[in-house]
Amino acid sequence: MARILDGASIAAAIKQEVAEEVRKLAARGVRPGLAAVLVGRVAASEIYVRSKVQACAELSLYSDLITPPGDVTTEAMLDLVAGLNARDDIDGILIQLPLPAHVDAKALLDAVDPAKDVDGFHPVNAGRLLAGRPALAPCTPAGVIEILRRSEIPIAGRHAVVVGRSDIVGKPVAILLLHENATVTICHSKTSDLPAITRQADILVAAIGRPGFITPDMVRPGATLIDVGINRLTTREEFDRFFKGDARREAAFAKRSSTIVGDIHPQAFEIAGAYTPVPGGVGLLTIAMLMANTVRAAKLRRGL
């Protein structure tokens, strides 16, 4: 039977370590601070940002939630970011995506001080990550590495296949795996004979944003499957495609009229050696790594 890589317990362990770091910094008169910028009213983003602010409170980090209106201009947002860059009580700046279409998201992310870029999106941090120099790594890719390390899944010398090439997950997770001495293949929508490549993977990372895209025939038996996808299913047809006959999921779907599935078809987990579930896997690491990055930024900024 495949081993389940429990994101909840790993995230809890990381948060406990962060709390200890915060206590040590407090003894030196330092309290790490995170500014979360949420533009407009997007229900999913509001829930996600609230969970980040709550995590700060639990770990005794300072947080400042800033909520500009949905019609805010790019110029006003750039002024806001400049103000946050100048604040000494703010070590990390988080701009919640997606932003309204009229706001230039790339300009805003590039305006964040790289030393406060706790999402790891700034080109300076991307370059430092590529070069193997100290950097603030994107939270989800960093969480993937923590899951593998803390679950004692060997990385060095293994063939890791990453399906997806986004700047947020695919590319940085490939770089982090390379730094861990894996042999890395990056696949995408233009890859020829994708199943032939994914079947070579000792570690298969799915980050393509398509529900159940990785099917059992694309997986080598015994492989470790890391599912980064979070896709919401709202129709009976979609539900039956992945979870027909699953009584537990059926009850949850009937109650909420929705459920989530990753980028890997649940049937593929049956032939894996280990896998991250959805929910309960990689997603839980993202906030934990954001907290860790905020503390790291506080220490780096002060030369600690």
Positions annotated as catalytic residues are 52, 96, 119
Helix or strand (DSSP H, E) at 23 = helix 7-27
Find, among 48, 73, 52, 72, the residue nearest to 61 by Cα. 52
142, 167, 282, 303 from 227: Cα distances, Å: 14, 17, 7, 36
CA distances 47 to 32, 53, 96, 246, 299, Å, are 23, 10, 11, 28, 29
How many helices and strands (H and E) does the chain possess? 11, 11
Sign of torsion over alpha carbons 126, 132, 133, 135:
positive
The DSSP H or E segment spanning 35 is: strand 33-37
HEC secondary structure over 92-160 = EEEECCCCCCCCCHHHHHHHCCHHHCCCCCCHHHHHHHHHCCCCCCCHHHHHHHHHHHHCCCCCCCCEE
Q: Using an 8 Å Cβ cutoff, are 268 and 216 in contact?
A: yes
